[in-house]
Amino acid sequence: MNFGATDLWGDVGTQSLVDHYTNGKYFDKMCFMGGLFGRFTAHPMLAARLGVNYGTLYATDAWNEKKALTASSVEADAFQRYLRNQDIKANIWESTFQLEFFLFRSNSESAAARRRWQPYLTAGVGVFHYRPFSTFIDRTTRAEKWVYVGDLGLEGEGFEYDDPTPGYAMKTKFWQVNVPAGIGLRFDMNDRMSWGIEYLYRVTFTDRLDNVSGDYVSAEYLERYLTPEKAAVAKEMYDKSWAIQPGAKQEAWTKRGNNENKDSYSSLSLMLIYKFKSNKIPWWF
């Protein structure tokens, strides 16, 4: 089994890795992922692993507040991100198949191979399904609540346009493929139990994981293509800059995100392993 903290790497949030962790608000809303996996050791240096995980990913433009307040101009990246004022919480299921490569166990008879501490590399392929949520802000009370945004078309995704438009987002696919790769350290407590720590980074092929990718649409487009109920919610959520700077409004078809870079996510997990030993003598002896 495994359990650990998650990170979402997308358009929402900070630009730099350092700011991601040192913005002063990162630890306020940490999110986690956990799951179960099974391993088969084919050789002391090689194992195959099949796992299932469930967790939550989170990011917010509010992480840019500290740098935005000291920015030299309103054009600064941190200020523009802070003014955009988007956030995301995505519930995610994933299943992965991975290979583990133990670096010091190519020769099972060596002294290094028999050490209890063993570093390893891992890589594989997986599938995941996610559901994105963002905060709805009441203009009167400023109360916030999480709202599912996968069907609100906040960037026009999924719309069939009647008129020529400068840009639009592709329809979101909530089932996606990922490519996990990472590094870990495992400690063999005895013949039956092991524990360890692992950092796993998932490359994805979508830029919609944080629901920010393309351009701002206009309120008129939302009214045209959504039901009145959904349009009323979407118009309050596609542009939330007014909550940071009263009266602010983003122009339609200006950049809301950067669709040139795909989103990704990662986890830092503790691992606990119970070993079922086979009566068969391993072939490497």
**pLDDT tens for residues 155-214?**
988 776 666 555 566 789 999 999 999 999 999 998 889 999 999 999 999 999 999 998
Q: Report if residue 283 sits inside a domain.
A: no
Average pLDDT value for the chain: 92
User: Which of 97, 94, 162 minimizes the C-alpha distance to 123?
Assistant: 97
What was the pLDDT predicted at 111? 84
- Would you say residue 150 has pLDDT above 90? yes
Q: Is 93 within a domain?
A: yes
Residues in the chain: 285
* pLDDT given for residue 158 in this prediction: 79
279 assigned to some structural domain: no
pLDDT at 113 over 90: no
Q: Which domain holds residue 48?
A: 2-274
- Determine, yes or no, domain membership for 63: yes
Residue 116 has pLDDT above 50, yes or no: yes
282 within some domain: no
Confidence (pLDDT) at 56: 98
Q: Quick one: pLDDT at residue 167? A: 56
Out of 106-120, 144-158, 251-265, least confident range: 106-120
Confirm whether 51 is domain-assigned.
yes
Residue 24 lies in a domain: yes
The residue whose two tokens read 């399904």 is: 129
pLDDT at 285: 40
Q: CA-to-CA distance for 285 and 273, rounded, in angstroms? A: 23
Is 284 contained in some domain? Answer: no
Per-residue pLDDT band at 277 (split at 50, 70, 90): confident
- For residues 17-30, give the mean pLDDT: 95
Is the separation of the CB atoms in 136 and 237 below 8 Å?
yes
pLDDT surpasses 80 at 109: no
Evaluate if residue 280 carries a pLDDT over 80.
Answer: no
Most confident of 67-71, 157-161, 274-278: 67-71
Which residues, in sequence order, are CB contacts of 225 under 8 Å at separation 6+? 153, 156, 159, 160
Total of domains in the chain: 1
- Token digits of residue 142: 């400023």
pLDDT at 270: 98
Cα 180 to Cα 124: distance, rounded to the nearest angstrom: 6
